[in-house]
Structure 1
Amino acid sequence: MAKYEQQVREILEAIGGEENVDKATHCVTRLRFALKDESLVDTDKLEAIDLVKGSFSTNGQFQVIIGQGTVDQVYRDIVELTDIGESSKSDVKSASSQKMNPLQRAVKLLADVFIPILPAIVTAGLLLGLNNVLTGPGIFFEESIVEAYPQWAGLAEMINIIASAAFAFLPALIGWSAVKRFGGSDLLGIVLGLILVHPDLLNAWGYADAQEAGEVPVWNLFGYDVEAIGYQGQVLPVLVASFLLAKIELWLRERVPDSIQLLIVAPVALLVTGLLTFVIIGPITFALGNGITDIFIWMFDVLPALGGLVYGLLYAPLVVTGMHHAFLAVDLQLTGSGNGTFLWPILALSNIAQGSAALAMIFVSRSENVKGLSGTSAVSAYLGVTEPAMFGVNIRFKFPFICAIIGASLAGTFIAINGVLATSIGVGGLPGILSIVPESWIPFIIGMVIAIVIPFVLTLLYGKTIAKKTFVPEK
């Protein structure tokens, strides 16, 4: 028997009826619908349902936030009570992608490639943060912990090796995910990534010095010199090479007899892709990737206040559209350069600002349901997961979202002026301080205070005064 039959029928009615649903699936906290016509959705009616904590549309999908655990049963009830049937996430993505424009498809492609490797990147970032604490001077003493207590040095070196592996072999992670996304063999993607960071190649981090000294190693291919360099920390070379590898592999599999595929497909696909990558793809994308990062570096060097203000202002709206995934590639490119990223610290403060605005709603709303959702979603945002706060509270009531953006932009401006850098991508909330270079901790902490206080105070004041007559806390 369906446990949430009444709520399921109310949800379906609010989204335009069963006949408006093309495909449906769910993730950890949300129902995901590919709808035929999103204009039929009655958002107010939907979010008045007791199980629903919020809703939003992104990348051609209409998503309804239910909550961990409960969403599993609600989805089972939908399948049981309707003829919609079960669908996988890929089915829903495929159905929803048909409604996307080219830019949305490009952003979705980046998300499909980078999201699967995020756990490894974030874990590595946290461990690098721990290494920062052990090796950074001026945190607990004038000297670093390992200098004050040499017995900790061996542990710090081991942590550094464990943490830096994901970044040192980043092309292998991207190759695995990208080739899989493009329909090829993910194992070949791993091999391709490892080829691009082979130890016999000149390390990409030493390329600039070697070029200045005139010591870049080359291969002579029939009179044409090809630089024998690796692509450590690079994103674009392995992305383009992965696309080529997958297409060559699929083309060969359609034409080579099954009996000899093992002898032909993988060797030919890797050989052709490898040669084209070292000769053409690598040099072009290496220069392009460095050019893109140089533009961001120039902007934050010349106009840091403007860069911090704009990125702090735009990051949360970019999350709503899903376009924030495009900047993950830039962050990885910046950290891969070895100099650190100035974008990711602003991301962390934006998450904190969203949590602070949601927290203020506890004191603004008279609804116990909103108070409870505000408290739990604020904690989630402070720990780096902003979906419940953004879509369940802040966007739902609009003014908290705007107050959070204001706080994030001011905090972003402050840390950009002070040149705050992160050595890696970590947890985008309060734990994010572990990923910040130790000498930037104090300005980053001040930035966190701004991101906590400004959105909280603005949301509280606006909710208690200006919005008092129009705010409907019973929703």
Structure 2
Amino acid sequence: MAKKDYSGLAKTIIANVGGKENINSLIHCITRLRFYLKDESKANDEVLKETDGVIDVMHASGQYQVVIGNAVTQVYDAVMAELGGLPEGGEAAETAETKEDDGKNPVSKAFGNLIGFITGSMSPVVGVIAASGIIKGILALLTLPQLGALLNVKSTAYITVSAMADSAFYFLPILVGFAAAKKLNGDPIVAAVIGGVLTYPQLVTWGGQYKTMFSLGGFNFQFLNYTYSIFPMILAAWLAKKLEDWLRDHLPDYLQMIFTPMITILLVSAVTLMITGPVIQGVANGIADLINWVVSASGWIGGLLIGAFYQVLVIFGLHWGVVPLVAQQIAQSGQSSLNAIISVTMVSQGAAVLAVALKTKKKGTKTLGISAAVSAFCGVTEPAIYGINLRFKKVFISGLIGSAVGGLITGLMHGTMYGFTGSLIGFSSFFNPKNPSDLTSFYAFLLSSAAALVISFIVAWVWGYNDEMVAGKKVEKKQRPGSEAKRKSETLTAPVAGKVIALSSVNDPVFSTGAMGEGFAVVPTEGVVKAPVDGEVAALFETGHAIGLKTTAGAEVLIHIGIDTVMLKGKGFNVKVAQGDLVKAGQILIEFDLDGIKEAGYDPTVMTVVTDKHDVDIKLPSVE
């Protein structure tokens, strides 16, 4: 199968989030591109929502989130390739979030920054630990006495595959440290080394024995086991970034290469082992145990409430705040009752969208619905929620009804999960690896998933959807009063002397049909192209036959000299500016050999097209 090209989608996304200059940084999770923008009012939500390949747009957690779905990694790579050199999270994002006066409540702002940091630290790791959890579950399945114990836990094959599954959890501090440092625009290698310190075999052994490092004033500082841990390493990565910045400001350049990483590793590792690690690990374990206890103690009530409302968190991207808590639960106790309930909510939303896909006669809705259902059954509900379920709110509610029943059953049976991956694909996570013959949680998974699937499907089929329904607007955060951007206007002049004609009369359908945007053309009488407006040279083609400008107000304008003149390979074109130059209206941009183009058999008509208005009111010259 040919590899799909996402460069066009990437360009559209960049243009409609306000252009590269409006982007501080970019990260992604399983389904979303998460932009940190300088000014979110410059983004064009409506255009992006109607763009093929984009499911929805959200404003949440201090981020501008473009929901892509399963192809998010490929789209992210394409966007980063177009942007070039943009930091993946980091100082730019931190500066934008913390330093700009955007009128947000400080508490809300701090919470958004925290969620953004956790997202950036955890999202690159989630896929790996999810896959590892499935492998561990399959191993537990293969050791079941009911299946004839196909694998012996002491066999070479079991131990080898178990190492493959456990490595992501065992060395989780290294993975999280690397990801967190990238998010902070720090040194990911240094952070990974600090994570390696926390998982060093001898220190892990001492941690298991609570060996005393030293005593101070009658207080014993002990080693702890940090394998499977998350939060101590996230803070360590932040401390490392701050210390690195300070050292770079105070150490001479000739000492930077060796002494910056050396001092950072020594100090941050020591502080983490002695102070921050034990404190954070204790708090995190306490919270994880408390959540497990509350979910277990609340029984069917907790299951009902969590099942009914968890997917509402997904709408706003706040579920990412739950991810590290679930991971901490599994790391601390080897199980998560909360994750067992979350799993059934994924099944229910998948069942609801599947009902729509099978019932509808609309080809587009059917295709999207089937794809979204498969995604939900594989543990990712956002394509279903944003693509269809929220557009037809009764479908989303149908899913909530089913998940409430499924959560109730899970709570009644005290079901729990021993792995990270949920929904139908995560069935193996419900087998207890320490006691494979205990199938209580697996039976809870079967009954709750079946109930959620059947109920959500029936309710959505009977009540939630029909083809006569009109899709509602997608959920979006309301703008603060007074935050709407004032519409700007600009006037374009003819970039070259000659006769101004309608773009529709140009002998090239790419331009004449308006596919590139509205504009005008000029039959030139001389070979000098001048800037039609003040702006910046945003794009410059090597052949010199075309140039892209970003106007002062933010619109994007393309000036194309001749039709098929790219075939001249630059002959007869003399470019007078460079990409990134600021230009004034009337400034010479390109000189070209008008007679040479004609003699070569090409049409010299110069097209000026507004490829993206960015909400700017553009006035074009009158056609003669």
Q: Counterparts of 2:472 and 2:224 in 1: how far apart (Å)?
A: 62
| Counterpart AA for 1:433 | F
Shift of 1:205: 8.1
Q: Counterparts of 1:278 and 1:72 in 2: how far apart (Å)?
A: 39
| Counterpart AA for 1:116 | P
CA contact (8 A) 1:367 1:473 kept: no
Q: Counterparts of 1:40 and 1:157 in 2: how far apart (Å)?
A: 52
Evaluate the alpha carbon distance shift between residue 463 and residue 95 of structure 1 in structure 2; reply closer, same or farther with a 3 A threshold. farther
Tell me which of 130, 133, 146 is aligned to 1:125: 133
Is residue 408 of structure 1 aligned with residue 403 of structure 2?
yes
CA contact (8 A) 2:291 2:338 kept: no
Partner of 1:435: 429
Q: What do you get for the CA RMSD once the two structures are aligned?
A: 4.0
Q: Counterparts of 1:377 and 1:110 in 2: how far apart (Å)?
A: 26
Q: 239-248 or 222-231: which moved more?
A: 222-231
3-state secondary structure, aligned to 2:228 = coil
Evaluate the alpha carbon distance shift between residue 95 and residue 167 of structure 1 in structure 2; reply closer, same or farther with a 3 A threshold. same
Partner of 1:276: 271
Q: 58-67 or 300-309: which moved more?
A: 58-67
| Counterpart AA for 2:259 | I
CA contact (8 A) 2:406 2:448 kept: yes
Unaligned 5+ runs, structure 2? 433-438, 474-624
Q: Counterparts of 1:195 and 1:10 in 2: how far apart (Å)?
A: 44
Partner of 2:260: 265
After superposition, residues 73-472 of structure 1 pair within 5 angstroms as 90=88, 97=97, 101-138=109-146, 140-141=147-148, 144-146=149-151, 153-201=155-203, 203=205, 206=208, 216-220=210-214, 225-426=220-421, 428-438=422-432, 439=439, 440-463=441-464, 471-472=469-470
3-state secondary structure, aligned to 1:472 = coil
Shift of 1:306: 2.5
Is residue 63 of structure 1 aligned with residue 61 of structure 2?
no
Evaluate the alpha carbon distance shift between residue 89 and residue 398 of structure 1 in structure 2; reply closer, same or farther with a 3 A threshold. farther
Q: Counterparts of 1:424 and 1:103 in 2: how far apart (Å)?
A: 28
Shift of 1:109: 0.9
Shift of 1:393: 0.5
Evaluate the alpha carbon distance shift between residue 353 and residue 383 of structure 1 in structure 2; reply closer, same or farther with a 3 A threshold. same
Evaluate the alpha carbon distance shift between residue 305 and residue 360 of structure 1 in structure 2; reply closer, same or farther with a 3 A threshold. same
Shift of 1:112: 0.3
Q: Counterparts of 1:272 and 1:461 in 2: how far apart (Å)?
A: 63
Partner of 2:595: none
CA contact (8 A) 1:204 1:231 kept: no
Q: 217-226 or 374-383: which moved more?
A: 217-226
Q: TM-score, normalised by structure 2?
A: 0.62
| Counterpart AA for 2:174 | A
CA contact (8 A) 1:30 1:67 kept: no
3-state secondary structure, aligned to 1:303 = helix
3-state secondary structure, aligned to 2:128 = helix
Q: Counterparts of 2:113 and 2:385 in 1: how far apart (Å)?
A: 23
Q: Counterparts of 1:8 and 1:200 in 2: how far apart (Å)?
A: 47
CA contact (8 A) 2:392 2:472 kept: no
CA contact (8 A) 2:348 2:400 kept: yes
Q: Counterparts of 1:416 and 1:61 in 2: how far apart (Å)?
A: 36
Number of aligned pairs?
A: 443
CA contact (8 A) 1:35 1:61 kept: no
| Counterpart AA for 2:453 | I
CA contact (8 A) 2:205 2:225 kept: yes
| Identity level (%) | 25
Q: Deviations over 1:287-346 (max 9, x none)?
A: 211211121022023112222223222321111211111111111111112431122232
Q: Deviations over 1:369-390 (max 9, x none)?
A: 2122112211222122322211
| Counterpart AA for 1:193 | G
Q: Deviations over 1:333-368 (max 9, x none)?
A: 111124311222323222221111111113544432
Q: Counterparts of 2:246 and 2:94 in 1: how far apart (Å)?
A: 22
3-state secondary structure, aligned to 2:336 = coil
Q: Counterparts of 2:457 and 2:253 in 1: how far apart (Å)?
A: 63
| Counterpart AA for 1:415 | T
Q: 170-179 or 453-462: which moved more?
A: 170-179
CA contact (8 A) 2:56 2:68 kept: yes
Evaluate the alpha carbon distance shift between residue 339 and residue 414 of structure 1 in structure 2; reply closer, same or farther with a 3 A threshold. same
Q: Which has the larger radius of gyration?
A: 2
3-state secondary structure, aligned to 1:61 = strand
Q: Counterparts of 1:443 and 1:220 in 2: how far apart (Å)?
A: 47
CA contact (8 A) 1:205 1:338 kept: no
Unaligned 5+ runs, structure 1? 80-84, 208-215
Higher RCO (Cα < 8 Å, 6 or more apart): 1
Q: Counterparts of 1:448 and 1:195 in 2: how far apart (Å)?
A: 41
| Counterpart AA for 1:460 | W
Shift of 1:245: 1.9
Q: Counterparts of 1:468 and 1:251 in 2: how far apart (Å)?
A: 61
| Counterpart AA for 1:362 | A
Partner of 2:554: none
